[in-house]
Structure 1
Amino acid sequence: MSATRYRAPPADALVIAPLDEIVAVFHRASGITHLVGPEIPDLLDVLAAQWLTADAIEAAFEQVEGDRSALIATLDELVAAGLVERG
């Protein structure tokens, strides 16, 4: 069984605008603007147009052990919002 992978749209499919303590992410394909935490644009950038496993995502952010459940929860929220695909 292969590991679950995640992918965000290409960077040019999103318009990202910081708004004080939150960030607006406009998804061109859906026409929806999402308000997200300040760490989400970095995550979307890592996932832009490429499939990565949670292990690869953790390595990109050098997360400490034990953050896996928080990462998966964040990815699940982004999938539900339509900003990330699960494959």
Structure 2
Amino acid sequence: MTEAAYRADPPEARRVIALDGVALIFHRPSGLTHIVAPPALQILDALGEGEAGPQTLLDRLKRDFDFGDGEDLEAALEARLAELETAGLVWRA
């Protein structure tokens, strides 16, 4: 079975304002503003490289962040992707 691939609008479709530990994202296509916490912006940035499934996204994120060992990172990432999908910031390709 192939993993689900996700897509996001290009970075220019979002206006981001960082605040103490959270960010406001104005999503131009929908006209909605979202309040997000890490790793939402990092996931959206990783999707800026092109559509990807959870394992590919995790590999992209590992280039810049040290996640350590002992966690089910793919399951955690899939949960964040589901939240972003519900918000309309990502969708399945």
The question of whether the paired residues in 2 share the 8 Å contact of 1:7 and 1:49 is answered with no
The question of whether the paired residues in 2 share the 8 Å contact of 1:8 and 1:49 is answered with no
Q: Which position in structure 2 is the counterpart of 1:35?
A: 35
Q: Note the residue ranges of structure 2 that are not aligned, 5 or more in a row.
A: none
The question of whether the paired residues in 1 share the 8 Å contact of 2:46 and 2:61 is answered with no
**What's the secondary structure of 1:38's corresponding residue?**
coil
The question of whether the paired residues in 2 share the 8 Å contact of 1:10 and 1:49 is answered with no
TM-score normalised by the chain length of structure 1: 0.89
Q: Which position in structure 1 is the counterpart of 2:75?
A: 69
The question of whether the paired residues in 1 share the 8 Å contact of 2:6 and 2:53 is answered with yes
Q: Which position in structure 1 is the counterpart of 2:57?
A: 57
Q: Which position in structure 2 is the counterpart of 1:45?
A: 45
Q: Residue 22 in 1 paired to residue 22 in 2?
A: yes
Length, aligned pairs only: 87
Displacement of 1:8 in angstroms is 1.0
Displacement of 1:39 in angstroms is 2.4
CA distance in 2, matches of 1:73, 1:53: 13
Displacement of 1:38 in angstroms is 3.2
Identical residues among aligned pairs (%): 37
CA distance in 2, matches of 1:76, 1:32: 18
TM-score normalised by the chain length of structure 2: 0.84
Alpha carbon RMSD of aligned pairs, Å? 1.5
